[in-house]
């Protein structure tokens, strides 16, 4: 199946040369349609020092349909729902913007870019977006508080569980071997 081949190729690319600050695992080696991504909070942001779980779910007709990307770690952010669902608003994942030529590495880099520079004009959480625009000091305080409360320690990908073991991995170490 072409979809399987494409996903396997992108997984190999993402694990051999992961996007900056990310580790990618398959929770189940026999299912390449679900990826667990650990994202380190980018330095110089309110998310620095935190580790965030991201679940990538690929539809069977990928790349003709966009993947589903959710945060499994709670995060205080205008573009991510402030609940346990962790839905994310990312322009390139919207059906009208998705292109089959889009790569998962680019999607993951765009998620990281949202932590560096939130998009308060296209929010999922209007209250947090307003706070980001109008009271940056309060936003920063709340975001850092969430990092301390939810993004320290082992990353959880399922409610109530710890980080899944096994599967293919990549590390975030810089440089080549």
Active site residues: 89
Nearest 5°: the CA angle 86, 91, 95 is 95
- Please tell me what DSSP assigns to residue 155: -
For 80-123, give the DSSP string.
B-SSSS-BB--GGGSTTT--TT--HHHHHHHHHHHHHS--TTS-
Strand-pairing partners, residue 23, are 38
């Amino acid at each position: 199946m072409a979809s399987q081949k494409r996903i396997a190729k992108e997984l190999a690319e993402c694990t051999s040369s992961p996007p900056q600050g990310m580790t990618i695992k398959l929770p189940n080696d026999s299912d390449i349609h679900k990826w667990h991504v650990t994202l380190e909070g980018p330095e110089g942001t309110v998310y620095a020092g935190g580790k965030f779980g991201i679940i990538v779910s690929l539809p069977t007709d990928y790349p003709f349909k966009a993947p589903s990307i959710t945060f499994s770690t709670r995060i205080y952010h205008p573009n991510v729902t402030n609940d346990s669902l962790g839905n994310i608003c990312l322009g390139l994942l919207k059906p009208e913007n998705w292109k089959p030529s889009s790569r998962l590495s680019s999607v993951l880099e765009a998620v990281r870019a949202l932590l560096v520079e939130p998009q308060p004009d296209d929010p999922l959480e209007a209250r947090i977006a307003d706070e980001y625009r109008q009271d940056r000091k309060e936003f920063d305080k709340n975001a850092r508080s969430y990092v301390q409360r939810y993004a320290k320690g082992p990353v959880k990908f399922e409610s109530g569980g710890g980080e899944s073991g096994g599967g293919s991995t990549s590390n975030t170490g810089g440089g080549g071997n």
